[in-house]
């Protein structure tokens, strides 16, 4: 019985008609478990039997199946697509084949991906890939998900932002009303009294309570579990045995499997179908009517019973493997639950390799974690490889912590026991990288040197080539560019001699970055782009992420903002698509820095704050965001800026890398200059001058020279030999007005204002007025205060406009331009108040409130209240109070943060 779902059903029908006309899209059908998502979609599919409606499922396995929904429907779509999946083809080939099939289909199609809150990373990538192309296709993609299981840090939470808003529809299913529950009770011959209050209108809970007993006077079950158990009590032993067996299988049971069982087992299954406990789809696959029912049956079984049942299922799946489609992830799930050490050690590494090849690195780490429980029972070389692989996948997709470092040390010990010095060298090299991520530069160099020593004692091979390349990388990170290029070319020569493509990709990245940063050599960009092309072509996910990072940061450093936007967007999309969290957070920090350079301080603050709010991230992952946030808050004149700056400086000093220390020193110098603290300014500049390996890059060393000049020092700073970039050169030549024009043409208003603040004498009034105009939209309060102080000191205060006050100051401070009244409306909307309630609370007319709500929707780029509530859930910072100048008591990062 489908009640109170006419609206969602009509909306799905409308979208299907629109898709049939060539304007496809994505629909997210959302709601709590048991709310009726699957029943709604079944009703929709029944209405549209003339269309090609294909179903695929995500299951709560210990590690999800890579591309699970696509595997379910592949054979109904295209034999070639199925063959690609069976062969473990790279996602781009699989996705392109699917797109071809959808484009060539005779009839419009509907793809239904159920329970995507359990989806793997590759499936979410597929949704992004299709979602961006569906507006031009006769295809509707429907995703069902439990909205209460999607926390802000869930991978699915970012999905809506990656899809075109015009082709994305959200349908949130509400609980049933009291009359609807009463109608269900009447149809079941039960008294409806108390049922709605007990179930909160959850349709599945209502149906299970009503079906739990035929006694109309029986007490209500207190939970879904009790309702299901009451139904099971009326079954015979054979039926309960089959339900127990099926309950340990997440998802559907293929017809080929259950029909191969004993005749009495099949008969028991048929009786459960007749009773409505199990359901059979069009292809004969078997499943519980709802996942909640399966979980309730499973909860009856103790751990030992579950272990035996999983072992039984594993044996059945392997016995009927030629006839039954079963993934490595499913086999591993049952082996783990059966505590079958030998099968786990055999299956889990294969499942991990399959997941990693599809870009699902988080799932790969989960599979290897399962195998590590039995590492003590494995041969030495197998155990060593498990520790090594788990450390790699976990560091790539999950976290970098003491456990990952310990796994590398354990791998080293086991490889030494096995007599594999080459593998020892490999793990020493990887320890170097891990310590670099943690901000420990000295340890990183020590382990890199140890790896080289270990491997140079062996015949030259690929491990030695990569160890040399890592040495090149560390020299590049410490701004020792000549050494970086020398070691990189040495590694490149050996790699080409051995045909070692991976080291070639790595070395080209190091050499190209060193050439770009060392002297702005454009040959470096060509090498980086070649490294990226090879990495993408051969699925070297981490190497591709590193190129995106280095290219993106160079674009930001060299103020090529349009190119920076393109590279950072592409890099972030790639990192998210392949579960590369470490690189994602790093690039988001770079994005925050870009926004700061563009004068969009509130956006920079929000992006950087989001990264720093994530727990368990390494020092290097957090550092770009920490530097950006400290500088933003300093320019805003925030009270917490000094503490943020000192904390970021301490982290930078621990790395020993000039590229991380110099930006903080320059930010502290800027903050001292803005508050006219000459002693603090001298202290920071002296510390900068004492840094080793000063960069010859025209943007980096040009910035240092300018601050040297602004401090009143006439002699050039020591160890800076470069031709400064044009905007810096103009100011150094005594023409700050020309410098400001160049900064404005680039799109850097704060740098332009800082240049104008150096103008003295006759042109000071006009220059400071222009600086004030540039700074007002940025909310850089520390700079605004400095402009007015300089005007007073030079007697040109009358040239400046009066300070603006009032609620529009809040609009300038809010990253999306909301006024104080609009912020009040937004808070009330977020709390669930309707228009009339908001009008009463704010003492405004309903028409005025409607105008405010429309303005909020427009500024946030939203179309309705559901979209607004979802955005507030995903971006709670929007409700944070905004501080204006009345409530508050700053030079760009000098060096690119490279990887």
Query: Rounded to an integer, what is the distance from CA 490 to the centroid of its chain?
Result: 36
Q: How far apart are CA 246 and CA 255, in angstroms?
A: 13
Q: In terms of Cα–Cα distance, which of 584, 542, 544, 582 is closest to 404?
A: 582
**Among 484, 504, 486, 485, which Cα is nearest to 494's?**
504
- Give the up-direction half-sphere exposure of residue 399: CA atoms within 13 A in the CB hemisphere: 10
H/E segment holding residue 31: strand 25-31
Give the CA diameter of the chain: 101
326: left (phi over 0), alpha (psi -120 to 50) or beta: beta
Q: Do the beta carbons of residue 736 and residue 755 sit within 8 Å?
A: yes
Under 8 Å between Cβ of 577 and 155:
no
Give the pLDDT confidence score for residue 887 in this predicted structure: 39
Q: What is the pLDDT of residues 6-52, one digit of tens each?
A: 999 999 999 999 988 888 999 999 998 888 999 999 999 988 876 78
Rounded to whole angstroms, the Cα distance separating 541 from 627 reads 26
- Gyration radius from the chain CA atoms: 31
What 3 state SS string does 297-315 have? HHHCCCHHHHHHHHHHHHH
For 562-608, give the DSSP string.
HHHHHHHHHHHHHHHHTT-HHHHHHHHHHHHHHHHHTT-HHHHHHHH
Residue 96 host element (H or E) = helix 91-104
Integer Cα distance of 469 and 504 in angstroms: 9
Q: Region of 439 please: left (phi>0), alpha (psi -120 to 50) or beta.
A: left
Q: Which own/partner pairs from 490-497 qualify as long-range (CB within 8 Å, at least 24 positions apart)?
A: 491/465, 491/466, 494/460, 494/464, 494/465, 494/468, 495/462, 495/465, 495/469
SS (H, E, C) 853-873: HHHHHHHHCCCCHHHHHHHHH
Which regions in the chain score pLDDT beneath 50?
Answer: 214-218, 220, 806-812, 882-896
Q: At what angle do helices 541-557 and 501-519 cross, to 10 degrees?
A: 10
pLDDT number for residue 817? 64
| pTM of the predicted model as reported, rounded to 2 decimal places | 0.63
Q: How many helices (H) does the chain have, and how many strands (E)?
A: 45, 7
In sequence order, the β-bridge partners of residue 110 are 53, 140
Q: What is the dihedral angle through the alpha carbons of 259, 262, 268, 271, rounded to the nearest 10 degrees?
A: 40
Helices 641-655 and 619-636: crossing angle, nearest 10°? 150
Query: How confident is the model at residue 810, as a pLDDT?
Result: 47
Give the C-alpha distances (Å, rounded to integers) separating 149 from 33, 118, 225, 247, 600: 9, 9, 19, 21, 33
Surface-to-core class of residue 766, CB atoms within 10 Å of its CB (0-12 exposed, 13-18 middle, 19+ buried): middle
Alpha-carbon span 169 to 19, nearest angstrom: 13
pLDDT at residue 892 in the model: 33
């Amino acid at each position: 019985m489908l009640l109170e779902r006419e609206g969602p059903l009509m909306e799905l029908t409308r979208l299907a008609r629109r898709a049939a006309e060539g304007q496809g899209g994505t629909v997210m059908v959302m709601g709590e478990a048991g709310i009726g998502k699957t029943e709604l979609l079944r009703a929709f599919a029944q209405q549209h039997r003339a269309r090609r409606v294909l179903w695929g499922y995500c299951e709560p396995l210990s590690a999800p199946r890579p591309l699970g929904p696509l595997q379910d429907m592949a054979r109904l779509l295209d034999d070639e697509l199925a063959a690609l999946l069976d062969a473990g083809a790279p996602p781009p080939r699989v996705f392109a084949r699917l797109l071809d099939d959808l484009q060539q289909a005779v009839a419009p199609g509907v793809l239904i991906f159920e329970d995507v809150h359990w989806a793997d990373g590759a499936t979410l990538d597929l949704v992004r890939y299709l979602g961006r192309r569906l507006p031009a296709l006769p295809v509707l993609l429907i995703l069902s998900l439990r909205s209460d299981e999607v926390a802000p840090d869930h991978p699915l939470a970012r999905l809506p932002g990656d899809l075109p808003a015009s082709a994305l529809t959200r349908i949130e299913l509400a609980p049933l009303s009291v009359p609807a529950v009463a109608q269900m009770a009447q149809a079941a011959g039960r008294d409806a009294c108390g049922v709605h209050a007990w179930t909160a209108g959850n349709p599945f809970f209502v149906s299970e309570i009503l079906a739990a007993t035929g006694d109309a006077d029986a007490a209500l079950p207190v939970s879904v579990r009790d309702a299901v158990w009451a139904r099971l009590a009326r079954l015979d032993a054979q039926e309960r045995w089959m339900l127990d067996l099926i309950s340990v299988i997440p998802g559907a049971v293929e017809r080929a499997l259950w029909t191969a069982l004993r005749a009495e087992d099949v008969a028991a299954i048929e009786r459960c179908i007749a009773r409505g406990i199990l359901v059979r789809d069009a292809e004969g696959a078997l499943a519980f009517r709802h996942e909640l029912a399966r979980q309730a049956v499973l909860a009856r079984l103790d751990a030992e019973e579950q272990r035996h049942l999983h072992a039984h299922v594993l044996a059945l799946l392997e016995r009927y493997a030629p006839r039954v489609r079963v993934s490595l992830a499913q086999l591993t799930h049952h082996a783990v639950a059966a505590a079958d050490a030998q099968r786990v050690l055999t299956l889990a590494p294969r499942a991990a390799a399959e997941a990693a090849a599809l870009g699902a690195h988080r799932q790969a780490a989960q599979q290897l974690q399962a195998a590590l429980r039995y590492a003590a029972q494995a041969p030495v070389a197998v155990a060593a490889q498990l520790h090594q692989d788990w450390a790699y996948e976990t560091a790539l997709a999950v976290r970098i912590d003491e456990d990952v470092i310990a796994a590398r040390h354990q791998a080293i010990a086991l490889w030494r026991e096995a007599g594999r010095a080459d593998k020892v060298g490999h793990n020493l090299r990887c320890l170097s990288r891990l310590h670099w991520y943690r901000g420990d530069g000295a340890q990183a160099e020590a382990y890199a040197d140890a790896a080289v020593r270990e491997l140079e004692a062996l015949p030259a091979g690929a491990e030695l080539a990569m160890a040399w390349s890592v040495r090149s990388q560390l020299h590049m990170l410490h701004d020792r560019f000549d050494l970086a290029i020398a070691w990189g070319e040495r590694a490149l020569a050996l790699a080409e001699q051995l045909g070692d493509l991976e080291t070639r990709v790595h070395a080209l990245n190091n050499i190209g970055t060193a050439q770009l940063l060392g002297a702005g050599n454009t040959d470096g960009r060509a090498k980086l782009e070649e490294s990226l092309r090879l990495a993408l072509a051969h699925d070297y996910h981490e190497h591709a992420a590193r190129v995106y990072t280095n290219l993106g940061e160079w674009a930001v450093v060299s103020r090529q903002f349009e190119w920076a936007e393109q590279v950072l967007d592409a890099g972030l999309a790639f990192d998210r698509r392949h579960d590369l969290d470490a690189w994602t957070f790093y690039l988001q920090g770079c994005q925050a820095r870009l926004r700061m350079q563009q004068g969009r301080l509130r956006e920079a603050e929000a992006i950087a704050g989001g990264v720093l709010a994530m727990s368990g991230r390494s020092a290097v992952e957090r550092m770009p965001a920490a530097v950006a946030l400290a500088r933003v808050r300093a320019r805003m004149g925030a009270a917490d800026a000094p503490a943020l700056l000192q904390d970021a400086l301490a982290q930078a000093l621990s790395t020993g890398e000039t590229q991380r220390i110099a930006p903080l020193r320059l930010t502290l110098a800027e903050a001292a200059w803005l508050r006219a603290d000459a002693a603090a300014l001298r202290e920071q500049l002296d510390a900068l001058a004492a840094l080793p390996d000063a960069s010859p890059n025209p943007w980096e060393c040009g910035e240092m020279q300018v601050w040297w000049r602004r401090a009143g020092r006439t002699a050039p700073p020591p160890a800076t030999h470069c031709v400064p970039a044009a905007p810096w050169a103009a100011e150094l030549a005594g023409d700050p007005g020309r410098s400001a024009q160049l900064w404005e043409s680039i799109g850097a208003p704060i740098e332009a204002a800082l240049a104008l603040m150096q103008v003295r004498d006759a042109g000071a009034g006009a220059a400071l007025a222009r600086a004030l105009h540039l700074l007002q939209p940025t909310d850089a309060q520390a700079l605004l205060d400095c402009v007015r102080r300089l005007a007073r000191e030079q007697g040109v205060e009358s040239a400046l406009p009066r300070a603006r006050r009032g609620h529009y100051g809040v609009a300038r401070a809010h990253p999306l331009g909301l006024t104080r009244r609009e912020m009040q409306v937004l808070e009330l909307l977020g709390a669930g108040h309707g228009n009339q309630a908001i009008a009463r609370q704010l003492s405004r007319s309903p028409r005025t409130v409607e105008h405010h709500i429309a303005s909020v929707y427009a500024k946030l780029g939203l179309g309705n209240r559901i979209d607004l509530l979802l955005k507030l859930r995903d971006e709670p910072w929007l409700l944070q109070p905004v501080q204006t100048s009345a409530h508050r008591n700053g030079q760009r990062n000098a060096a690119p943060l490279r990887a």
